[in-house]
Structure 1
Amino acid sequence: MPTTVSPTPLTESSGAPATSRAFRFSRAQYERMVDAGIFAPDQQVELINGLIVPMSPQSSRHTATVERIRRVLDAHCPADAYVRTQYPLALGAASEPEPDVAVVPGSLEDHVDAHPTHALLVVEVADTSLAYDRNTKRPLYATHGIATYWIANLNASQLEVYTNPEADDYHTKRTFAPSSSVPFADAVIAVSSLLPDRPST
């Protein structure tokens, strides 16, 4: 039987243009759409604050950096957590982002029937998505209590580290160059091991 999902229309007070009809979906509605196969296999989207947002295509530098970070974090991950790459996080009633890397508490078996609802660390790799990762993803992760958020800024070849979430933002931001190190769990990680070299010009 086909699945019917009724979205909630945005009101004018939500900031949506009066000339367009935008809709917000709950996370439960979105997951029913996923289960029903409404999205094509090659259609990559995520749910952000009730809006279904298309995800940008990934460059080779982006995918290589995701894998570098995954390998490094996996080597230092606490025993009571594990590393996921580009899989959903269930954040509240209206968001299901798919961060590039997330360190989540528990084990894989804990999330067979439902996505994780929390992460110890979330990492987004940013080239063309830098503004989105700063202005949309950052407040989302802060709102839901993600303790540490990293942006691997490929344009500047640096790591942005956000900690101490308060309301919808982080109280502390630090920027790490490739020559520096960043703490993770009980380890201190060379930033150069996380970021690729700058492309030759």
Structure 2
Amino acid sequence: MTTTGLHLWTIDDYHRMIEAEILTTEDKVELLEGQILEMSPQQPPHAATTQRTWKYLSRLLANRADIRVQLPVTLPPNSEPEPDIAVVRFDSREYLDGHPTTDDIFLLVEVADRTLNRDCKQKARTYAKAKIADYWVLDVNMRQVYVFREPTDNSYAQEITLDENATLSLVAFPEVEVRVKELFP
């Protein structure tokens, strides 16, 4: 019996596929742990929650961080996801020379209506491996937030779930209070 291996792509491979137009803007994909995965289409609750969260965090973090919506982040050696929200350091060139990397990222947020399992397992593992200190999953259906902190090699040592009546702060900005109910429309 012959078995075949799985070829994992690097970030450089991924960028070459984009430059060669093997992957185009019509391909709704992202690179996670060396695999090119299709991204789920957005339903209105997902889009509305993403928009609301972006506006709310933009107000709270004005003059402290840049808030990027559904744009790539580069997590070497083999991940370039497009989180729904990325709270990153200001860059005077607006990341013209490259996407934000681990050292630039304060918080990543995924909004989940049909992707909760993937976001809490696969994406959490990817972000933990990249040492992302603060990762949130907004569960649109239950109106709660899964908070992942203290990254280890393959997971997070701290995982908590907060309902819409809770408040929390970003690891990078502990003085900023985030009211969970304000993240949801």
TM-score normalised to structure 1 length: 0.83
- Whether the 8 Å CA contact 1:82–1:108 is kept in 2: the answer is no
- Structure-2 separation of matches of 1:91 and 1:192: 30
Among 147, 156, 160, the residue aligned to 1:174 = 160
2:181 matched to 1:192? yes
Question: CA-to-partner distance for each residue in 1:66-85, whole Å, 9 max, x for gaps?
Answer: 11111111112263521101
- Whether the 8 Å CA contact 2:18–2:24 is kept in 1: the answer is no
User: 1:36 offset after TM fit, Å?
Assistant: 2.3
Structure 2: 5+ residue stretches without partners: none
Aligned residue runs from structure 1 range 1-201, under 5 A? 18=3, 22-77=6-61, 79-107=63-91, 109-118=93-102, 119-184=105-170, 185=173, 186-196=175-185
Bigger relative contact order, structure 1 or 2 (CA pairs below 8 A, ≥6 apart): 2
Question: CA-to-partner distance for each residue in 1:26-76, whole Å, 9 max, x for gaps?
Answer: 100101111222224322100011110000000011011011111111112
3-state SS in 2 of match to 1:111? coil
User: 1:166 offset after TM fit, Å?
Assistant: 1.8
3-state SS in 1 of match to 2:145? strand
Question: CA-to-partner distance for each residue in 1:154-199, whole Å, 9 max, x for gaps?
Answer: 1222011111112211111121111121213221121111023xxx
TM-score normalised to structure 2 length: 0.90
**Percentage of pairs with the same residue:** 34
- Whether the 8 Å CA contact 2:86–2:109 is kept in 1: the answer is yes
Rg larger in structure: 1
- Whether the 8 Å CA contact 1:81–1:107 is kept in 2: the answer is no
3-state SS in 2 of match to 1:24? coil
- Structure-1 separation of matches of 2:133 and 2:163: 21
- Structure-2 separation of matches of 1:73 and 1:147: 17
- Whether the 8 Å CA contact 1:80–1:107 is kept in 2: the answer is no
- Structure-2 separation of matches of 1:23 and 1:108: 37
